[in-house]
């Protein structure tokens, strides 16, 4: 797996990934080409508070991307970042999600010294993503009932995960006190 920061010259790769795949566990599961192009031009993927990276497999094919957001206006900002990750169907169940989440976690903590934690949310029924987060040291911190809009207009539960810098540095997990 290789990772490359997205720039405007990579527009067609990002369009291909987003337009030619189903994203059943995402709120915006199907965007139009016009919507994606607008996001690219408006800086959604590249402004100061966000960075996007393309994920390539060992055959150098773009098989996904992740977008880091809420990074803050500069590296001294202590805002808590989150991320969106999408892997093409043919790249799933290959360990790429785990490698990418480990990479982005290392990237944030290594390049943003004031970041104390990283957060992630996913739907309760996205078992693969939940396993990836757990395997990468993210701990379940929240369960929001009927909060995630689905394609069929119902609401799914949202699970919130987080990783602390201290835990990442020491390869530990600080448990959540669920009995308060």
In a domain, 129, yes or no: yes
**Averaged pLDDT, 10-30:** 88
CA 170, 103, 87, 55: dihedral to nearest 10 degrees? -170
Specify whether the CB–CB gap between 133 and 175 falls below 8 A: no
Give me the DSSP letters along 118-154.
EEEEEETT-HHHHHHHHHTT-EEEEEEEEEEE-TTS-
Tens of pLDDT, residue by residue over 24-50, are: 888 777 789 999 999 999 999 998 899
CATH number of the domain where residue 155 is located: 3.40.630.30
**Tokens in use for 92?**
């799933």
CA distance 12 to 19: 10
Domain housing 93: 2-170
177 falls within a domain = no
Question: What's the average model confidence in pLDDT over 155-180?
Answer: 96
pLDDT digits (tens, 9 = 90+) for 62-87: 999 999 999 998 888 889 999 999 99
In a domain, 162, yes or no: yes
Residue 124: inside a domain: yes
Total number of domains constituting the chain? 1
Q: Is residue 180 part of a domain?
A: no
Residue 99 lies in a domain: yes
| pLDDT value of residue 75 | 80
Range 3-7 average pLDDT: 97
**63, exposed or middle or buried, with CB in 10 Å at 0-12, 13-18, 19+?**
buried
pLDDT grade, residue 1 (50/70/90)? very high
The reported pLDDT for the residue numbered 24 is 84
- What's residue 60's pLDDT? 95
Asked whether residue 178 is domain-assigned, the answer is no
How far lies 97's CA from each of 51, 58, 112, 115, 126, in Å?
Answer: 17, 14, 22, 22, 13
Is residue 97 domain-resident?
yes
CB count, 10 Å around CB of 38? 12
């Amino acid at each position: 797996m290789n990772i490359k920061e997205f720039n405007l010259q990579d527009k067609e790769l990002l369009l291909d990934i987003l337009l030619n795949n189903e994203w059943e566990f995402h709120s915006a599961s199907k965007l139009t080409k016009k919507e994606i192009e607008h996001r690219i031009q408006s800086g959604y993927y590249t402004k100061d508070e966000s960075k996007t990276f393309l994920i390539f497999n060992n055959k150098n094919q773009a098989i996904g991307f992740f977008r880091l957001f809420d990074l803050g206006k500069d590296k001294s900002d202590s805002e808590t970042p989150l991320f969106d990750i999408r892997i093409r169907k043919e790249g799933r169940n290959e360990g790429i999600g785990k490698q990418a989440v480990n990479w982005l976690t290392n990237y944030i903590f290594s390049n943003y010294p004031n970041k104390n934690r990283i957060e992630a949310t996913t739907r309760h029924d996205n078992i693969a993503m939940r396993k990836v987060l757990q395997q990468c040291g993210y701990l379940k911190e929240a369960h929001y009932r009927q909060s995630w809009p689905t394609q069929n207009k119902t609401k799914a539960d949202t699970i919130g995960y987080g990783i602390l810098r201290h835990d990442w540095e020491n390869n530990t997990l600080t448990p959540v006190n669920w009995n308060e």
